[in-house]
Structure 1
């Protein structure tokens, strides 16, 4: 039950009755006053109670999961979503067969799904929610791969004393590269180009 109609002597009393029936709090509902209370003749006869309609606000995480489940069903893949709160974000860990299809080349499909699911989660949210999609620990494996790449190309720039340009990457992957190289002596990094073809440049000092 996500919507109830309740009555009371006052609007607040009617709302409280609805909250009890919904087993929720005032912050988690939207209230529509259908009728204001009316006093009867001489305050005794023919009065009308307040009437309100109280509806629970959509749960953003639940909406995001429903969106993905419908999408996966249309794609014909069987996926279980394990929700893991982590620091200031919520991780949706995708588990099942043929997960590689959902990851895509260098995580492009996974990143696209993540972008869409964040749009869905935040369309009715009061504050910004951050959902991170992961599958088969891909995010950590990709992070390690990028850090190894960064180390190898930094050494190349130092040894050859020539500028090294990386292929275009998304912003979160460029951040991994910059972070991995920020404390290495003998090089400096910056990004060039416009999205989605923005790339990192490693300069020897």
Structure 2
């Protein structure tokens, strides 16, 4: 956190001095007036300088990026993070030689990283952000796998005329399954169980 305490004949002068030291503009800082100062008699006798504390506002996206890098580099020192933001949606894409370790089995480690960054970012930010932590296109590959799995197990449920239960998945993956099978009139889907073991059930329609 960069901050400067500065003084001046007026609070305006003190703030301007601080901004010059920080090499920034007023819209990028928060200002705390420590002492408004006093002009004194004839502007000289008993005069007291104004004192302010000026702090550069922290960027929650930058903080989240640094936080993600710090954790990811426990797995691999060469990890890099590319950030893309669109309104309140932010994507972090990881890349590196040991990316498989960061993804983990069925993306479990990547999902854990996404959860941690989501919590951290929304604690720091005034607004609610929706984030995705990806690793060299893993999310798209996983979605393709889920589509194939959903359709195959839906066919199985119809064929054996019994409920088919999928493995536990995070909520956004369950949503993918529900969405893929929503137009299949021969089956219904619903989620069952408690986190972290909540899963999708495919039910054939009588």
TM normalised by structure 1 equals 0.87
- 1:12 deviates by 4.4
Aligned length: 205
Gaps of 5+ in 2: none
Q: 1:166 to 1:76 in 2, by over 3 A?
A: closer
Q: Secondary structure at the match of 1:58?
A: coil
Q: Which deviations, in whole Å up to 9, do the C-alpha atoms of 1:141-179 show, x marking residues without a partner?
A: 101111111111112222332221111111111010011
CA-based RMSD: 2.3
Any residues of structure 2 matched to 1:54-203 within 5 Å, and which?
Answer: 54-86=54-86, 88-203=88-203
* Bigger mean CA deviation after superposition, 163-172 or 84-93: 84-93
Note closer, same or farther for the CA distance 1:119–1:85 as it changes in structure 2 (3 Å cut). Answer: same
State the 4+ residue runs in structure 1 displaced beyond 6 angstroms.
none
Farther-moved stretch of structure 1 (194-203 vs 82-91): 82-91
In structure 1, runs of 5+ residues without a counterpart are none
Q: CA separation in 2, counterparts of 1:105 and 1:95?
A: 17
Aligned-residue offset at 1:95: 1.0
Aligned-partner Cα distance in 1 for 2:191–2:89 = 26
Check whether the contact 1:39–1:46 (CA below 8 A) recurs between aligned residues.
Answer: yes
How high is the TM-score relative to the length of structure 2?
A: 0.87
* Higher deviation after alignment, 88-97 or 77-86: 77-86
